[in-house]
A = this chain, B = another copy of it.
Amino acid sequence: MSSKVSPLAPTDVPAMPMIAGVRLATAAAGIRYKGRTDVLLVEMEKGTTVAGVFTTSKCASAPVEWCRDKLKGGSARALVVNSGNANAFTGKSGKQATALTAQLAAKAVGCKPAEVFLASTGVIGEPIDATKFDGVLDALALDAGPDGWMDAAKAIMTTDTFPKVATATVKLGKAKVTINGMAKGAGMIAPDMATMLSFIFTDAPLSASCLQALLKAGVTDTFNAVTIDGDTSTSDTLLAFATGAAAENGAPKISRASDPRLKAFVKAFNAVLADLAEQVARDGEGARKLVEIIVEGAKTKVSARKIALSIANSPLVKTAIAGEDANWGRVVMAVGKAGEPADRDKLSISFNGIRVAKAGARDPSYNEKEVSAEMKKPVIQIKVALGLGKGRDRVLTCDLTKEYVAINGDYRS
């Protein structure tokens, strides 16, 4: 947790409403950090369904493996998140630690261990002492209440510079339902790599398979379209929980994601995901600029995504943005290295709406002074038009600054 808040932090922080069937509590268990909360317990009513998406890493953490396995049950009663120790690459003891944590939480909440979901973030390779959770989780279960969403968002932070929350209310049938979300960032982190953790809660009565389908579709253009440095955590976890409590107010029970009654809900759900994902980009380690990359005219959307990610992950593009330099030559380079269909002589490139290159060469009408003024702004849009087809995509990232190197070059100790 940095003392200096990112200059890109949102200025409007929403008041987080309650969600029927969800209670939260936080504590300072001293896992690694001193003088701050580092454990979150979320209790959910019976009947809560759960969905999740996880890191694609081949070396996933023990909690990720636990959650993947327990998702099969489709039912959740508790979520335990700790910051400070990722419990990744900890061998057998890591697996034992997840099982023990789930047991302790199950006892505290009064459910089966298989209904407990776990997420950890922090240092890799350090054994975690799960017995530390013993008294803590019992106390948290007694303490849990419907408020405290901001406290929860703070407890899961590592080197994030601000807590990340988002909320939406929407009609499902004739009833009002609420969606709350929180995230911690991919701002890459001392003492170790960051992890993107995010948790979404709703009182809408959705089946587990419906929720899973919504989540999987929702991340494509939100969390999966954000990159800070192209590095993938062993612990990335996004879980969604639906308590179903809104059924009491007449919300219809929905079992299929294609149900037309979900239309407004899906829009709001995706907006919460998009809001949180953008906050993650705004809190990239050392970030001074939010960078939106739009690629259009590609052969396909998939091709546009690959090119956009190639630009977003290019150290040369990212350092140019940090230097407030509209260096479109580096954008050409990143398009070229993506390996996707591209015709140099059809390419055009704009920065914040000002076209600097077209038809394979510098745009003759391009005014360096005008572009330079745009590059000083905190949000930079790079638009690349390939002129080949209708594929379009959008990716968010941030600039690469000396502060990123300083933060990540620091000792673990």
A: residues with CB less than 8 A from B are 55-60, 86, 88-94, 123-127, 188, 192-193, 229-234, 313-316, 319-320, 322-325, 327-330, 332-342, 344-345, 347, 357, 359-362, 400-402, 404-406, 408-412
Contacts and interface: CB of A to CB of B under 8 A. Distances in A.
**How many chain copies?**
2
Contacts of A59: 332-333, 335-336, 342, 344, 347
A193 B231 contact: no
A229 B406 CA distance: 17
A286 B409 CA distance: 14
Contacts of A333: 57, 59, 124, 193, 231-234
Contacts of A323: 408-411
B409 A231 contact: no
A360 to B, nearest CB: 4
A5 B56 CA distance: 41
A336 B91 contact: no
Nearest to A368: B413
A232 B337 contact: yes
A328 B412 CA distance: 11
Contact of A57 (B90, B316, B337, B409): B337
Contact of A411 (B325, B332, B338, B405): B325
7 contacts: A55-B336, A125-B361, A127-B362, A188-B316, A319-B404, A319-B409, A402-B402
Nearest to A319: B408
Given A58-B335, A319-B404, A319-B408, 13 more contacts: A57-B337, A59-B344, A88-B329, A88-B332, A89-B329, A91-B345, A124-B330, A125-B329, A192-B329, A319-B409, A320-B409, A327-B412, A401-B409
